[in-house]
Structure 1
Amino acid sequence: MDALIGTQAPRQRLTDPAATVAALERAVPGLALLRRTVPAGIDWATVEECLTTELPSDYKLLADSYPPLAFGDFLCVGFPDPGQEQAWSEDPEELEILAEWCADAEMCVPLYPFPAPGGLLPWATSNQGDYFLWNTTGTGPDEWTVTVASRNGGWWHYNGGAVQFLADLIGGALELWELPSVQPQVQAF
C-alpha cells in the first residue's frame, strides 16, 4: 500500500538567514558559545560547482559561523572543511543510501535523490541512521523545504528551511513524528 507523507509547517517561514540562525541560538542556548570568531572560509563556489546547484543561504551562514554540530547527542549537521570542499561535495555514499531508501519507500508520490529534478539532498543525519534532506523543488535553494527520512520507514515534510527546522525541532514547536525528543544541548565535532 502506498503511504502518504505528512507535512508540518512553521508558524511563519523565516527567510532571512541571520534570523534563522538567531532562532536556532534561542532554541539552543549554548550554541552561541561555539560561534567562530571569523567565518570558516568555505569555498562555496567549489561546493556548488561540484554539486551542480547552489545551497540555501541559511545553511551556508550556519556553516560559516559554526563548526560541525551535534544536537542533543542525536542530530549531526556537517559542513565542508575549507580545502576539502570538492571531496565533501563528491562523496556519493549518502546519495547511494538515499537512492535505496527512495526505491524501497512505497509513497503515493515517488521521491528521488538529487540530482533528479526536485530530488532529495542530505544536509544532516542522526546517530540512529535518520536522514534530514532538502527537497530541491522551487525556483531557488532558499525556497527548499525539509524532508525527514527515518530509519524505521517514516517520512515527513517540513515547509521551512533547514536551520529553522532545527530551531523548531529542538525548541519543541514540531510534533516528533518518528523522531526522539532532541535536547537543547550542542557540541562541536
Structure 2
Amino acid sequence: MLPSDYKLLADSYPSLAFGDFLCVGFPNPGQERAWAEDSEDLEVLAEWCADAETSTPLYPFPAPGGLLPWATSNEGDYFLWNTTASGPDEWTVTVASRSGGWWHYTGGAVQFLADLVSGALDLWGLPPVRPWVEAF
C-alpha cells in the first residue's frame, strides 16, 4: 500500500529529521493502513483541502486519488502523496503549506527528500534545509 522506496527507507530508519525543519515518521510493520488513516492529520487535511483555491478539487486519503500525509514540518506544513496514479510507486508529492500554498513535485517522497537536502529543489517559499539528517 506504500511506495517501495519509502518502505525501504522505513526499514532502514526508525524516524528521520531533516535539518531542523522536516520530520518523517514511519508506520510499524503491519500497521500501514492504520497509520495511513490517522484521523487527526486527515481531519486537518480535509479542512485545508476544502479551503484550497486550486483548479482541481483536493481530497484527503482514503478518497479516490486522495492526498496521504507522509511527513510534516515543524512549521505545520504537510508533505503528501498524491495517490491518483496507478499504484504507490507512481505517487507524486504535494506540499501543503500552513499558509495556504499548494505545490506539486513530480517525483516520489525519497527523491523529494534527496532534492530538498541537496539544494536541488525549488523551495516554493519553504525555508532551506540544513544538510544534516538525524535518525531517532
Structure 2 length-normalised TM? 0.93
In structure 1, the partner of 2:81 is: 134
Residue 102 (str. 1) matches residue 49 (str. 2): yes
In structure 1, the partner of 2:107 is: 160
Aligned residue-pair number: 136
Displaced runs of 4 or more, over 6 A: none
In structure 1, the partner of 2:20 is: 73
Alignment of 1:16-165 (within 5 A): 54-82=1-29, 88-165=35-112
* Shift in CA distance, 148/85, structure 1 to aligned 2, threshold 3 Å: closer
The secondary structure found in structure 2 opposite 1:187 is strand
* Percentage of pairs with the same residue: 82
Structure 1 distance, partners of 2:107, 2:3, is 11
1:171 to 108, 118, 123: 118
Deviations 1:81-116 (A, max 9, x none): 357656534421101100000001111111111111
Q: Is the 8 A contact 1:73 1:186 kept in 2?
A: no
Q: Which has more helix, going by share of residues? A: 1
Alignment of 1:170-189 (within 5 A): 170-189=117-136
* Shift in CA distance, 168/55, structure 1 to aligned 2, threshold 3 Å: same
The secondary structure found in structure 2 opposite 1:125 is strand
Question: What is the deviation of 1:170?
Answer: 1.2
- Unaligned segments of structure 2, at least 5 residues: none
- Unaligned segments of structure 1, at least 5 residues: 1-53
C-alpha RMSD of the superposition: 1.5
Q: Is the 8 A contact 2:37 2:62 kept in 1?
A: no
Larger Rg: 1
Q: Which has more strand, going by share of residues? A: 2
